[in-house]
Amino acid sequence: MTTFPAPAKLMHGLKTRLAGLLAGASLISLSFASATVSAQSLEEAMGSAYAINPGLKAERSRYEATNQDVWTARSEFLPTVTGTYLGEQNAFRSERSGNSDRSFFHELGISMSQTVFQGFAGVNRLNQAHEEANSGRNQLIGAEQTLLFNTADAYLRVVRDRAILAHLRAYTNVVQREVNAARARYKSGDATRTDIEQALARLGEAQGNSDQAVGDLEASEAVYERLTGQKPGKLGWPGIPQTIEPAGLDDAINVALQNNPSIRAATADARAARYAARAAVGDMLPRVSLESEWQTGYQGNLGNQDEEDFRFGVRVTAPFFTGGRNIAAVKRANFTAAQQEYELDDTQQIIRENVVRAMKQRAASRLKVKAVKRAIEANQRAVKGLQVEFDSGQRSLLDVLDGERELLLSKVDHVRARYDSRIADFFLLANIGRLAPQHFGIIEERPAPVPRLMPEFNTWDLRLGPSENDVFQSTVVEVVTSDTVFIETEPLPPIQ
């Protein structure tokens, strides 16, 4: 027996398709109207954030302040010249004779001191200052890349939230048309009150999700405006230059270990701590300095007498006993150097983990984008089939609403997957040290480093703490796999 669609349901299908065509036409006209809105590229947003961000300006000032420590350390090698002047006027009167007199005394002096030997503490402190300045420079580079990553994240969030809101509003319009059609069928006797209530429930859900999406979009736009100083215009999905992408996981790890600003800053901190330890040892050695002084004086009441004195000598100071203060300073510096080197190891492991995670997330998100795109195509075909079956009386209104919601969820998942894929790209670039301003057409505003005059002492191995023979390393743990897992290890020796 052949079944024919009911007239009311057939008219509902025609109205739904006609409304879809009208909605498509309105979207086309809206796209032409929005073409007049100024488009903003990611490079423009990054340039604006780089130019106005106060945190980055504060980091530049901090780096400039750190550079001044180099000049302070250089001053230890230059002579010190001091000038003094003394002028006195003494008045006295004898009560017995009633006589009074005045005396004038003027003294002018110039002294000079030049340190000849300071136990190599000055050389090590100068190299320490250079390494601290190098660490500050890499911290500034890290702040730049963090700002660019945050800007890219804010840019992508606005694009994502706008796309999600557009899908939710389109879905809300579809559900609203279903509610209107259900009410029309209810009046004609082809639908029940339950159909209307089901459609109204989906409409309330869609409107609530749309309102939430509006709030999320406004929050993302606020972050974008804070970073760039301007409201977001017409944005699109950005890409990254192919020339700065790593060739693979191993290449990404190698590039990160060499170029990551956090690793470079931690390396400079470790080297500075080692120079500080050497300087502490130098403070225990004798100091030799050349000193000279010239003084001249004039006394006005003693026959205009002039006095002139000139001295020149060598001063040697040696800290024979300081109550253990110098030894404690050396130990403290050594332990600080060990701390910095362990922190360098920790930073390298964290960056390596971030690179591996970014590579895996990027690959997984790209696969998810393709999979969700296929799901969208399948859901679109399913919705068309459900609509035809509903018109023929084989499906209920709830089935159609479920199909529309599945299509919406797949579209939202596709937008989120695209966001995850793009943000993983920028997260990878930030960790390998290639999210630099010059790669995005931004002119760098970075103070020049102070030129190095003293040679570097690179004769030591950058490893103060225990190495592979570390007595604090735990013994090898062997895990025997069976129904029950046993962990076999050697007991700790008793405390002596």
Computed over every residue of the chain, the mean pLDDT equals 82
Domain parsing of the chain, residue ranges: 7-30+39-78+118-284+324-462, 85-116+288-318
CA distance 144 to 59: 9
Instruction: Decide if pLDDT at 459 tops 70.
Output: no
**Averaged pLDDT for residues 91-107:** 72
**Averaged pLDDT for residues 360-371:** 94
**Averaged pLDDT for residues 427-440:** 93
Cβ atoms < 10 Å from Cβ of 71: 10
Which has the closest alpha carbon to 149: 480, 427, 491, 458? 427
CA distance 264 to 462: 13
The model's confidence at residue 14, banded by pLDDT at 50, 70 and 90, is very low
pLDDT of residue 304: 57
Instruction: Decide if pLDDT at 35 tops 60.
Output: no
Tens of pLDDT along 193-245? Answer: 888 888 899 899 999 999 999 999 999 999 999 999 999 999 999 988 888 98
Instruction: State whether the Cα torsion 382-387-389-390 is positive or negative.
Output: positive
Which has the closest alpha carbon to 201: 389, 390, 397? 397
Lowest-confidence range among 126-135, 329-338, 360-369, 480-489?
A: 480-489
Instruction: Decide if pLDDT at 4 tops 90.
Output: no
The model's confidence at residue 7, banded by pLDDT at 50, 70 and 90, is very low
Encoded tokens for 118: 């300071």
pTM metric for this prediction: 0.78
Per-residue CA distances from 257 to 252, 260, 261, 478 (Å): 9, 6, 9, 31
Instruction: Decide if pLDDT at 494 tops 80.
Output: no
pLDDT of residue 465: 40
CA distance 391 to 17: 12
pLDDT of residue 69: 92
DSSP assignment of 420-442 equals HHHHHHHHHHHHTT---GGGGT-
DSSP assignment of 323-348 equals TTHHHHHHHHHHHHHHHHHHHHHHHH
Query: Residue 314: beta bridge partners?
Result: 290
Instruction: Name the residue type at position 212.
Output: Q
Instruction: Decide if pLDDT at 480 tops 60.
Output: no
The model's confidence at residue 454, banded by pLDDT at 50, 70 and 90, is low
Encoded tokens for 296: 């001249």
CA distance 237 to 442: 20
Structure-model confidence comparison of residues 288 and 299, the more confident one: 288
**Averaged pLDDT for residues 137-146:** 95
Instruction: Decide if pLDDT at 29 tops 80.
Output: no
Query: Under CATH, to which class is 7-30+39-78+118-284+324-462 assigned?
Result: mainly alpha
The model's confidence at residue 160, banded by pLDDT at 50, 70 and 90, is very high
User: What share of the chain has pLDDT > 70, as a percent?
Assistant: 80
**Which residue in this structure is represented by tokens 């969700």?**
372
The model's confidence at residue 10, banded by pLDDT at 50, 70 and 90, is very low
Q: Which long-range contacts (CB under 8 A, 24 or more apart) does 14-17 make?
A: 15/177, 15/181, 16/177, 16/178, 16/181, 16/387
CA 362 to chain centre: 19
pLDDT of residue 56: 94
In angstroms and rounded to an integer, the radius of gyration of the C-alpha atoms of the chain is 39
The model's confidence at residue 187, banded by pLDDT at 50, 70 and 90, is confident
Residue 486 DSSP one-character state = E
CA distance 407 to 376: 6
Encoded tokens for 473: 């390393």
Instruction: Decide if pLDDT at 468 tops 50.
Output: no
